[in-house]
């Protein structure tokens, strides 16, 4: 009986690790995903931009003037959206952590829409729709991408 109890606990604890979390965001609907009911939040096999992060960061700092024009702004910002199973932006852009300025948040969203080429997220070598989150730090008029 004691062994059965331990075995049951073991299985209950290990079962969640075999599945992937499907995440929905209230009020946010990705427009261009392959399966709107299965947009995954992936820990492994995440979607990735094909462009190098250093290149994206340089473009981000050149094309979003708000940070340079407001060097006293210091914040950490998170912006999330879906990447579809074809490696395209799937939509559903939303600000998870705000900068404190809506104009700047919108400027960041518009910039991230310009990154068109992606490697789609994968589960067991099969491409799936997944969420991607940009985590940024804004300090001294400079934007740093934290998820490199």
User: pLDDT tens digits, residue range 95-121?
Assistant: 999 999 999 999 999 999 999 999 999
Burial class of residue 80, CB neighbours in 10 A (0-12, 13-18, 19+): buried
Domain coordinates in residue numbering, the chain: 19-145
Nearest C-alpha neighbor of 81 from the set 19, 129, 148, 122: 129
Quote the pLDDT of residue 7.
45
What confidence tens digit (pLDDT) does each residue in 32-81 have?
999 998 999 998 999 999 999 999 999 999 999 999 999 999 999 999 99
Choose the weakest-confidence range: 1-5, 62-66, 144-148.
1-5
Query: 81 near 112, Cβ under 8 Å?
Result: yes
Token pair for residue 14?
Answer: 């290990």
What are the phi and psi torsion angles at 121 (to 5°)? Answer: -65, 155
């Amino acid at each position: 009986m004691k062994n059965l109890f331990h075995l049951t606990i073991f299985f209950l604890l290990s079962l969640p690790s075999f599945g992937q979390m499907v995440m929905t965001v209230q009020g946010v609907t990705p427009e261009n995903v392959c399966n709107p009911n299965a947009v995954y939040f992936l820990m492994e096999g995440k979607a990735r931009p094909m462009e190098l992060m250093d290149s994206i960061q340089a473009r981000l700092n050149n094309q979003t003037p708000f940070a340079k024009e407001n060097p006293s702004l210091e914040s950490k910002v998170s912006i999330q959206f879906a990447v579809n199973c074809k490696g395209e932006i799937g939509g559903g852009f939303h600000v998870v952590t705000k900068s404190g300025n809506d104009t700047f948040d919108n400027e960041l969203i518009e910039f991230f829409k310009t990154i068109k080429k992606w490697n789609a997220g994968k589960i067991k070598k099969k491409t799936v729709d997944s969420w991607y989150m940009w985590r940024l730090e804004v300090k001294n008029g400079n934007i740093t991408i934290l998820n490199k």
